[in-house]
Structure 1
Amino acid sequence: MEGLSRADRADDAALLAGLAVGDAAAATAFVRRFQRAVFGMAVSITRDPALAEDVSQEVFLRAWRAAGTYDLRRASVLTWLLTISRNAAIDAVRARRATPVEDEILDRLVQDTLTAVPEQEETALNRIESERALRTLHSLSPPQARAVVLAVFGGCTAAEVADREGIPLGTAKTRIRDGLRRLRDREEADHA
């Protein structure tokens, strides 16, 4: 079970295409298929189930608005949707955050992410995507992986990453940029 079959990816893309043209049945099936993954991503970032519910609704709204721009060749629908989920959750956390996240919380987030093992109750599809993401993240050097986790999951700016890691701002930006590029390239290679 290395990845989704072409048929599964095409079925997901067909649901997304139905969502794009306003097909109510396709929209319902789309939400049902991906709601656990979206909510799981949102709650893992926000650490607040109520906020995660709001984020999930926003994610499906964004997906509906952007459905026409989806390109099956770039990533699976789940990967695309989880990217939207991650961005929406980070936006929600940043909007709520009155003070910067404490160092202890960020350290725990980095540690939890880098040592994460998919849960037993995850669906096979979610497990495959989670395992692929973790393998890809583990392919980065530890400093690069920390910078990516702090920026992507921790919602830190490059300046905050530089401050936390005790490195120059340019180095933090390079680690984040290069790490994200390597993750994207690996994802594209996996889906080629």
Structure 2
Amino acid sequence: MEVSDEALLAGMAAGDPQAATAFVRRYQSRVYGLAVAIVGGSATADDVAQEAFVRAWRFAGGYDARRGGVLTWLLTITRNAAIDTVRLRRDQPYDPDVLLAVLTTSEASDDRQIEQVADTDQVRAALRRLPREQAAAVVLASIYGFSAREIAERERVPLGTAKTRIRLGLARLRDDFEVSDDKSA
């Protein structure tokens, strides 16, 4: 007979390592899958998943079944841990010229970012065809998740200019890769 999620959480709250082990085994693939979907890399996703289970262990006593199911609670914890990780990564200093050099050279110097791109050479070639300002805006928005306002501040340009650079750069990339905006197709 399978132990309920609530019973496992109660065991975790009481400090039972067997309950924690059973809980992790039950949900490790779902937690890891969500972490990968948010942070991208598998090593980072491992760290996020571990942090999510540590937080679940720490806050197991505060779980309230009236507010949602155990899986929803755990995936919310995972999502929050992943977002914290992404935010920390975004706060790292960067040099747009170095970033563009990495993406436009023929040698990959940062495989963690490049491995997420299906066809690196095509993306590099398309980025090289963009004006430097548009390429920087697209990379900062797409890879690093910066908002147009953040890009405008970092590039020291008006907000409208940053938005235009992103829009034009993405439009040119869509044309290069022959991506259609037509949703009926």
Of 54, 63, 71, 1:70 maps to 63
Q: Flag structure 2 segments of 5+ consecutive residues without an equivalent.
A: 95-136, 151-158, 164-185
Q: SS of 1:19's equivalent?
A: helix
Which residue is 1:37 aligned to?
30
Q: SS of 1:22's equivalent?
A: coil
Q: Where in structure 2 are the equivalents of 1:111-130 lying within 5 Å?
A: none
Question: Is the counterpart of residue 17 in structure 1 residue 10 in structure 2?
Answer: yes
Q: Where in structure 2 are the equivalents of 1:53-92 lying within 5 Å?
A: 53-92=46-85
| TM-score in terms of structure 1 length | 0.49
Of 129, 140, 151, 1:102 maps to 140
Aligned residues with identical type, % of pairs: 58
Give the CA RMSD over aligned residues.
Answer: 3.2
Aligned equivalents of 2:142 and 2:36: distance in 1? Answer: 19
The structural deviation recorded for 1:55 is 0.8
Question: Is the counterpart of residue 47 in structure 1 residue 85 in structure 2?
Answer: no
Aligned equivalents of 1:104 and 1:91: distance in 2? Answer: 18
- Indicate the structure whose relative CO is greater, using CA pairs within 8 Å and at least 6 residues apart: 1
The structural deviation recorded for 1:91 is 0.4
| TM-score in terms of structure 2 length | 0.51
Q: Deviations over 1:36-65 (max 9, x none)?
A: 111111110000110110111111111111
Aligned equivalents of 1:13 and 1:102: distance in 2? Answer: 42
Q: Which AA in structure 2 matches 1:81?
A: L
Aligned equivalents of 2:143 and 2:46: distance in 1? Answer: 22
Q: SS of 2:66's equivalent?
A: coil
* Pair member with larger Rg: 2
The structural deviation recorded for 1:105 is 4.8
The total of aligned residue pairs comes to: 109
Q: Which AA in structure 2 matches 1:54?
A: D
The structural deviation recorded for 1:22 is 1.2
Aligned equivalents of 1:16 and 1:25: distance in 2? Answer: 11
Q: Flag structure 1 segments of 5+ consecutive residues without an equivalent.
A: 1-7, 107-153, 167-192
Aligned equivalents of 1:54 and 1:44: distance in 2? Answer: 14
Aligned equivalents of 1:25 and 1:68: distance in 2? Answer: 16
Q: SS of 1:94's equivalent?
A: helix
